Amino acid sequence: MCSSLGDMASRRSLGSWLRLALLGGAAVLASCHGDDFDRLASDECRFEPERCDGGAGALCDNNGDCADPLFCCDDGNCGGGMCTADCRDDFDCPGGMRCQHDMCFYACDSDRDCAPEMSCEHGKTVCEYD
């Protein structure tokens, strides 16, 4: 009987450790981008990309102009040079941004939610350059 109690205690202890490990792993995954990543998106970058220094939406000529982990997108949707992040879905983007064309763009409901040179595209979901 004592060995059974010891086995139960070991299994309970192992179960507790496994739960802690899973919770810890989930917390690490949730914080892969975290607050610092969300700070890359701002109203200044959204509405005045020319005044934004390397953040999401900033104007850029090359990847060195963008804060890590952003890159300089140079296709037409990015106006020829806009700092953005790779994504597979909206959760991969900084706060206030959505995933479109595998890149992050500012979310919008109308053109007023975008920089003057941009418009609210794709069914009124993301700001893109015209």
Domain ranges of the chain: 1-32, 35-129
Q: What is the pLDDT of residues 87-110, one digit of tens each?
A: 999 999 999 999 999 999 999 999
pLDDT at 32 over 70: no
Query: Which of 15-19, 52-56, 78-82, 104-108 has the lowest average pLDDT?
Result: 15-19
CA-CA distances (angstroms) from residue 76 to 38, 55, 102, 130? Answer: 25, 19, 14, 8
Alpha carbons 92 and 3: distance in angstroms, whole number: 49
Instruction: Count Cβ atoms below 10 Å from residue 39 Cβ, excluding itself.
Output: 13
Q: Which residue is listed with tokens 């104007």? A: 59
Which of 68, 5, 75 is CA-nearest to residue 40? 68
pLDDT at 26 over 90: no
Encoded tokens for 84: 């953005």
Which pTM value belongs to this model? Answer: 0.72
